[in-house]
Structure 1
Amino acid sequence: MSASFMFPPSGFGPGSQIGQDDEELNYLAMPSGVHVYEPHVPEIDDPATMAATLVFLDELQEQAQAWRVGDARLLPRHNLAPAAGAAVNDALGEGEVSARLEDAAGLVEVQETVFAGIWALRAYGGPQGQDMREQVEVSAFPKALLARAFPPRRARPDMATDMADGVVNAPAILTELFDRSENWHPRSSPHVVNLSLLPHTPEDMALLEASLGRGRLAILSRGYGNCRIEATATPHVWRVRYFNSMDTLILDTIEVSFVPEVACAAVEDIADSAARLHEICAVLREENASPRGTQA
């Protein structure tokens, strides 16, 4: 074999496509920003703040340990002193899922903590929203939000009167979704319509959105990119859209379910959260028992 074949021919390989107006190779940016749990123990110097923080976190750990599928275990925290409340916030941190619900009864903001299945809820009421209550809930997903996510069921819209030129698949999709919604029960499996794979026109999308309506609850799940979930005005029907880390839509679906699984904590997640809380409480208890201000 000729020795000349041992080397790549000139004009090929990395860098060979660079011209005078293009001085470097440009690669597609890779996704990033995946959240990873890191244990964090708050620094507390005041003995009273330490005691109140430990009482709250111990009770929360016990609630998480005792949690069973279907439970919603609530622990009020608006009665904590400001310093203890800040220490609890520091210990719990912020996780991947957040939610916002607004209706005639007021506004509810929810943030999952770094402990999956443990949710920090803040509810505002009163004429100007001046009444604020805070609590922590241990559940797969906060039940209070689901109870208020959808308005009362309304009659099916008359799609024939709203049908514009260009509508193709929307009537069939809507008939399927309304049937699933009206026949939904807690044991129903999630039913997903994948709009990314289903041919549809802009007029189809306009009719789908107008007919399903807009609900009261919006959820954002951050992880490998974002998942944005919105309740429609049709009970148990959710718009679920997935975006990559560059905020490009990669999957567009409509789901009929109790709540989309991507927003929920699994049984194993909550058990793991109980174990992590136990570790943090043990560290705080050890720090509380050790003499302060001494040097080795």
Structure 2
Amino acid sequence: MHKFPDIPIVEIGPGSQATVEDEGLDYMAMPSEMDTYHQPILPEPEDTANLDAGKRKLAELLDAMRAWQNDHQTRAVGLDGLDAANLDFVNQALGEGEVSVACDGPSPIRAQESVLAGVWRVQHFDANERIVRDGIEIGDVPDIVRNTAFAGADTALDIACDTDDPGLQNAPAVLVELADRIAAYHPGDALHAVNLSLLPLSDSDIMLIGERLGVGPVTMLSRGYGNCRIGSTARRNTWWIKYFNSQDGLILNTIEVVDVPPVARAAPEDIADSIERLDEILELYR
């Protein structure tokens, strides 16, 4: 007679399986820290007798901030005439905020938001990384973001795909959607976002989308809850934005069709608060 194989005995019923409490929950680590405003550490008034030029420059900055209007036009305050001590005093007062901007090219530009939201420290460099222009700008973003990010960028997006590539899943549909939105976009239109994190995308999909969009000259990093890294592409008004948690794990991956991503912009209310804060700083030296 044929002998049946042994059947393993497996416990079933309540208490036979590991519980959630036994295993523990394996949550993705979410951002846990946020940068907040801290008034910069400044010298005592009695130690600033030789820093009148720096004080005047900060007063000039305050006037420019009050004159700023929410029309996407920045106001500029030059710093080229200050000596090292006065420039250091201005730098101390401004501090370093959440958003930094880099524009690559033959003449690189770097911008750093100060602790005063909407106040940007902007430096222009030559090919040898020497500073050729140094100043401050007031605005939702520094000029280089609007003036440089898509200079020479194309609105046409190649959507042709190799349908025989077994690795492609959703890239063709994403490219068609982006091509339509990029071609139709006009400054001031509402943002259109493609959330790549919600789509089943293969490595081949991501590589093809990246290849077709290309890489632009402007990169922004916004620090708050984790990091947000924003890169211009070679297609007009198109940004690739990645959000990371505090362990540098990717938690959101999006492409946005918009002139400037809202996450990178200082709001008018932020600049109004910055006016009050700079006025408080200057009050120490009046």
148 and 201 in structure 1: CA distance in 2 versus 1, 3 angstrom threshold: same
Question: Could you tell me how far 1:30 is from its partner in structure 2?
Answer: 6.6
Question: Could you tell me how far 1:17 is from its partner in structure 2?
Answer: 5.8
Separation in structure 2 between the aligned mates of residue 163 and residue 239 of structure 1, nearest angstrom:
27
SS at 1:206 equivalent: helix
1:143 aligns with 2:140: no
SS at 2:86 equivalent: helix
Aligned to 1:272: 273
Aligned to 2:83: 81
1:36 aligns with 2:31: no
Separation in structure 1 between the aligned mates of residue 100 and residue 164 of structure 2, nearest angstrom:
36
**Residue deviations 1:20-71, cap 9 Å, x none?**
xxxxxx998674331121223521624231x112101111111111211122
Aligned to 2:152: 152
Scaled by the length of structure 1, what TM-score is found? 0.82
Q: Does the CA contact (< 8 Å) of 1:41 and 1:283 recur in 2?
A: no
Runs of 4+, deviation exceeding 2 Å? 26-33, 127-132, 153-165
1:128 aligns with 2:102: no
Percent same amino acid among aligned pairs? 40
**Residue deviations 1:64-89, cap 9 Å, x none?**
11211122000111221100000110
Structure 2 unaligned regions, length at least 5: 1-20
Question: Could you tell me how far 1:102 is from its partner in structure 2?
Answer: 0.8
1:282 aligns with 2:262: no
SS at 1:78 equivalent: coil
180 and 28 in structure 1: CA distance in 2 versus 1, 3 angstrom threshold: closer
Aligned to 2:13: none
Q: Does the CA contact (< 8 Å) of 1:162 and 1:207 recur in 2?
A: no
Residue 94 of structure 2 aligns to which amino acid in structure 1? L
1:200 aligns with 2:201: yes
Scaled by the length of structure 2, what TM-score is found? 0.84
Aligned to 1:96: 98
Separation in structure 2 between the aligned mates of residue 170 and residue 134 of structure 1, nearest angstrom:
43
Residue 245 of structure 1 aligns to which amino acid in structure 2? S
SS at 1:103 equivalent: coil
Q: Does the CA contact (< 8 Å) of 1:41 and 1:284 recur in 2?
A: no
Question: Could you tell me how far 1:107 is from its partner in structure 2?
Answer: 0.6
Residue 96 of structure 1 aligns to which amino acid in structure 2? E
SS at 1:47 equivalent: coil
Separation in structure 1 between the aligned mates of residue 266 and residue 220 of structure 2, nearest angstrom:
14
Residue 86 of structure 2 aligns to which amino acid in structure 1? A
Residue 278 of structure 2 aligns to which amino acid in structure 1? L
Question: Could you tell me how far 1:161 is from its partner in structure 2?
Answer: 5.7
Greater mean deviation of Cα atoms: 64-73 or 29-38: 29-38
